Structure 1
């Protein structure tokens, strides 16, 4: 190899670093703001630890002189002599070796301990991945990997790298369990912080994968340009088939599926070294995209938290790519035996899957038993930035978001943004003032020296400010939604103004509550009173967060298309959410009675929307209750061609404005409303929209001195009705 070729290979190999960088960006962009520092730094540490471990031990186990085809015995880091190992070869496999570790650490995002994730990453880089490399890819003077001897082929690392990564990540996800609220019916989905960075990560992944494969890995040769075209065609087919299927099923496109679908197709076609025709590449990519979507649904069914759909992206598409190798790769004359080749591939799939999953599953289980795997409840709620690095997102970070975007808005929009910025600044100032007053009061009462009382107050204060920070995150998401709404010409000025009034009403009450608490703290108080004020501030933050979530849910429902309706068992769903509803009723001193008059069958609906509907029905009645004397009755019964949900309460009547705002709620909101009527308008509109999306009907009847009756009718599923 001459000097020019060496330089080209070295620069191309550096482009291979785009592959792990892309994976890091795809994982980090799918976490929430309170975990972004932790996500970025733990992924950086994973790469650093992985490279050191692979240099010291992993490379020798993978490519040292073979011991019975099972493990390498030479070329460990400190014993490597200059010129003994090609730098290009080491860099190529070092980059590939950190990918499974990144998947393991990524699968632990937002709930895994930093120490446990680093221990697992080191174990995967030292032990799990190198032995898989040796079994499948090693060709040494003393022997060849035992799986390679059986005829197993995976030139692009479809299974060896990405299948291993998927199995390892699946194992740790099963042991760790999902994030809080990930699969709770009726709650808003967990939102990633930066979908655009996910797309950037996808492109870097593609560039890095092609750079590695076309310079040193699966397909070095003179047809590099054609191989790149084949790879891009496969990736395009993978994302296109999923986009079309999603749109036909849900009547909207899900951007969270685009990147994983494209990359799953690229992973699958790399198993055959891109040595296929464009038509076959498109077929391989399309099948891989469908398999990834099916795998995602299976993981969600079993409540396995697949952050960013990365497990489904690597696991089954990698398997699909390896299985088609015997049918597509040209074999040497006289050595073609389809049965033997397919048997070697199946053996490799089984061995790699069992080895990767079982080792990580056992190690994760041991770490879990010692408390090193998952953070506790408070730490997860507070965010891992604070838990691991002592950092925290400011409650006013939404102000920075406003300042970045305000210059691109129309004058009317800018006025709204300026007003919202002022409100948020006032709110943040009230929090800071409250914190200083608590500190001063603690000094006056010697709170920091009173042991348990001081510790409890400090915890309550931390929880209070964390709740407010979470509310600020929701406000930021709402601001982004306002910008999108204003860019839509179909929205009227009255709707924009009403939405702004709603946010103003929601923010003003917590500001007043926290300010009132701060004024009381400045008086002479004892330790018990100070602790109660901290709890009250925490409650104010919690109420704010709940109200903002209600507004966000209503905006999402108003802008969403009709979902694909399914068979839903309303009784089973009610049993699942009833404990939460009963706790809320007890806290308000209200009697909540729930009954099923008959045994209605499966209705035509959507599980998530029906859960939100039942929650909204009961919560509306509870919020309108007038204390201990109030009674709320929820009854489900058969009603001809459908199921009837009837809820009765003895609270105050619904305001007329709420019943007039069923279809355009924000056009009826103004500054003269009180916060209770605002809550009612949002709840009534949400109920109406949820019923409409499930092709049902709803009636509201409210009378002074009697109470409120809400009757919802949802049809049976068509198959059941005809039966």
Structure 2
């Protein structure tokens, strides 16, 4: 008969694997959301690169990313545990940052690699409809091997931000701000899609080809978040995971309403796209604070995230003229910043004691200490990702190039990059131009 400890470990392991599967299923959500929010001529390419992206991050994270993020090392990065080649008796020593959970190291790796996969998936949104396929390989390797793992180590792996008490329970900064910032860099270096801006600087709306796909994508992502945030307990932990799921759902609902109403007021119409992004912005924001805040605060955090997202999308499009096709930085970057800062205001003492990270927020008598920690953690993470992503992508730009030629962008990446179409029935009977591009 197994002991009680073995039974608890087994149940915890099942939960972590289920949570990891839910997070992995978010890749399907990204595929539908991004393909539906862009044009038909690029749909197959955009959906298909989710498979390539996750394959790259899985291999690279196994080689070195997991060790850099969670291996024992210094305040900057882990220096052990590469290839996960560790003696069984030394696993808790090498991966001490994850030793709070008794689940096997394989389950921990699976849970963490799907997080890395989400962050990389976020990044590609800023490059949609105009980036070369080679960029996915080259930048995907750099991102998975160094950029994401280093920030992960700072906060979760025993690095310097974790040691000063930065509160980021499931990754508003580590996953979402990191991916969103890289997306912003990509959008800047690539430049806008053809036809996005007029000579006078005014913006043209480029509509997605299937809003139903986008809705289904968001529903899948919302579902996946029930693994993303609650699964970060890495165990059942006396059902605390259920509380995390509770605050997560409240925030998402508030984000949908806040964004839709705001878009209605600002744009004059209750735009469905903004409502969808409002859900995601709220989920991004509550990801840092889900374990630290009371339900009323989760509603406030989610609702404000939806509102901020609407104004952010308008700002980057109309004022800065940065073409971010699915609003990756507004949804994941801006909302990630707000979500991380929010614990500095709303972190409740009883929950802070439960989690054991940082101090209570300003509104609970904790003063400005936690807000300051959250602020400089966000600022330095943003700066690090922006600079390293810019260097990596600029080097790619001056060597192999970032952007497809004009004629390939016009005909669409499905044909130009892959020689087939996501909707072959929609092709004209004579598409010899496309065939010449393949030659």
- State how many pairs are aligned: 402
1:181-192 alignment runs, 5 A limit:
181-184=195-198, 189-192=205-208
Q: Verify: 1:462 aligned to 2:433, yes or no.
A: yes
Equivalent residues of 2:230, 2:241 under 8 A apart: yes
Pick the aligned partner of 1:299 from 303, 316, 337: 316
The alpha-carbon distance between structure 1 residues 88 and 176, as it changes in their structure 2 partners (threshold 3 A), is same
The alpha-carbon distance between structure 1 residues 223 and 162, as it changes in their structure 2 partners (threshold 3 A), is same
| Matching residue of 2:189 | 175
| Matching residue of 1:74 | 80
Q: Give me the whole-angstrom Cα distance separating, in 1, the residues matched to 2:52 and 2:257.
A: 35
Equivalent residues of 1:102, 1:121 under 8 A apart: no
Q: Give me the whole-angstrom Cα distance separating, in 1, the residues matched to 2:83 and 2:423.
A: 44
Equivalent residues of 1:104, 1:121 under 8 A apart: no
Pick the aligned partner of 1:124 from 132, 137, 143: 143
Q: Give me the whole-angstrom Cα distance separating, in 2, the residues matched to 1:32 and 1:285.
A: 29
Deviations 1:75-100 (A, max 9, x none): 11162445836222111211111222
Equivalent residues of 1:117, 1:373 under 8 A apart: no
| Matching residue of 1:712 | none
Equivalent residues of 2:254, 2:302 under 8 A apart: yes
The alpha-carbon distance between structure 1 residues 376 and 266, as it changes in their structure 2 partners (threshold 3 A), is same
The alpha-carbon distance between structure 1 residues 258 and 386, as it changes in their structure 2 partners (threshold 3 A), is same
| Matching residue of 2:99 | none
**2:326 is paired with a residue of what secondary structure?**
helix
| Matching residue of 1:215 | 231
1:307-386 alignment runs, 5 A limit:
307-329=325-347, 330=349, 331-332=352-353, 338-386=367-415
**2:193 is paired with a residue of what secondary structure?**
coil
What are the ranges of 5 or more consecutive residues in structure 2 without an aligned counterpart?
Answer: 1-5, 92-103, 361-365
Q: Verify: 1:99 aligned to 2:118, yes or no.
A: yes
Deviation of residue 51 (structure 1)?
Answer: 0.9
Deviation of residue 463 (structure 1)?
Answer: 7.2
Equivalent residues of 1:152, 1:348 under 8 A apart: yes
Q: Verify: 1:29 aligned to 2:43, yes or no.
A: no
Q: Give me the whole-angstrom Cα distance separating, in 2, the residues matched to 1:317 and 1:276.
A: 17
Deviation of residue 153 (structure 1)?
Answer: 1.6
Pick the aligned partner of 2:263 from 227, 242, 246: 246
The alpha-carbon distance between structure 1 residues 183 and 281, as it changes in their structure 2 partners (threshold 3 A), is same
| Matching residue of 2:248 | 231
The alpha-carbon distance between structure 1 residues 196 and 117, as it changes in their structure 2 partners (threshold 3 A), is same
Equivalent residues of 1:57, 1:76 under 8 A apart: yes
The alpha-carbon distance between structure 1 residues 71 and 277, as it changes in their structure 2 partners (threshold 3 A), is closer
| Matching residue of 1:164 | 178
Q: Verify: 1:17 aligned to 2:15, yes or no.
A: no
Deviation of residue 226 (structure 1)?
Answer: 4.2
Q: Give me the whole-angstrom Cα distance separating, in 1, the residues matched to 2:49 and 2:20.
A: 24
Deviation of residue 292 (structure 1)?
Answer: 0.8
**1:385 is paired with a residue of what secondary structure?**
helix
Pick the aligned partner of 2:159 from 121, 145, 148: 145
What are the ranges of 5 or more consecutive residues in structure 1 without an aligned counterpart?
Answer: 139-143, 399-427, 436-460, 467-723
Equivalent residues of 1:156, 1:218 under 8 A apart: no
Deviations 1:4-24 (A, max 9, x none): 443344233322212333223
| Matching residue of 1:200 | 216
**2:37 is paired with a residue of what secondary structure?**
coil
Deviations 1:273-311 (A, max 9, x none): 244333222111111111111111111021111122222
Q: Verify: 1:61 aligned to 2:68, yes or no.
A: yes
Equivalent residues of 2:229, 2:244 under 8 A apart: no
1:409-420 alignment runs, 5 A limit:
none
Pick the aligned partner of 1:262 from 279, 302, 321: 279
Deviation of residue 223 (structure 1)?
Answer: 4.1
Equivalent residues of 2:18, 2:227 under 8 A apart: no
Structure 1 or 2: larger helix share?
2
Give the aligned CA root-mean-square deviation in angstroms. Answer: 2.7
Pick the aligned partner of 1:112 from 111, 131, 138: 131
Q: Give me the whole-angstrom Cα distance separating, in 1, the residues matched to 2:119 and 2:20.
A: 19
Deviations 1:171-199 (A, max 9, x none): 11111111111123789632212211111
Deviations 1:89-141 (A, max 9, x none): 11121111122221222321211010023211111110100010111111xxx
| Matching residue of 1:456 | none
Deviations 1:511-563 (A, max 9, x none): xxxxxxxxxxxxxxxxxxxxxxxxxxxxxxxxxxxxxxxxxxxxxxxxxxxxx
Equivalent residues of 1:238, 1:285 under 8 A apart: yes
**1:276 is paired with a residue of what secondary structure?**
coil
Structure 1 or 2: larger strand share?
1
Task: Answer with 42-51 or 101-110: which moved more.
Answer: 101-110
Q: Give me the whole-angstrom Cα distance separating, in 2, the residues matched to 1:134 and 1:7.
A: 25
TM-score where L is the length of structure 1? 0.52
Q: Give me the whole-angstrom Cα distance separating, in 2, the residues matched to 1:382 and 1:209.
A: 36
| Matching residue of 2:97 | none
The alpha-carbon distance between structure 1 residues 311 and 235, as it changes in their structure 2 partners (threshold 3 A), is same
**Higher RCO (Cα < 8 Å, 6 or more apart):** 2
Equivalent residues of 2:292, 2:343 under 8 A apart: no
1:561-572 alignment runs, 5 A limit:
none
**1:34 is paired with a residue of what secondary structure?**
helix
**2:194 is paired with a residue of what secondary structure?**
coil
Deviation of residue 395 (structure 1)?
Answer: 7.7
The alpha-carbon distance between structure 1 residues 393 and 344, as it changes in their structure 2 partners (threshold 3 A), is closer
Equivalent residues of 1:97, 1:125 under 8 A apart: yes
Pick the aligned partner of 1:290 from 301, 307, 326: 307
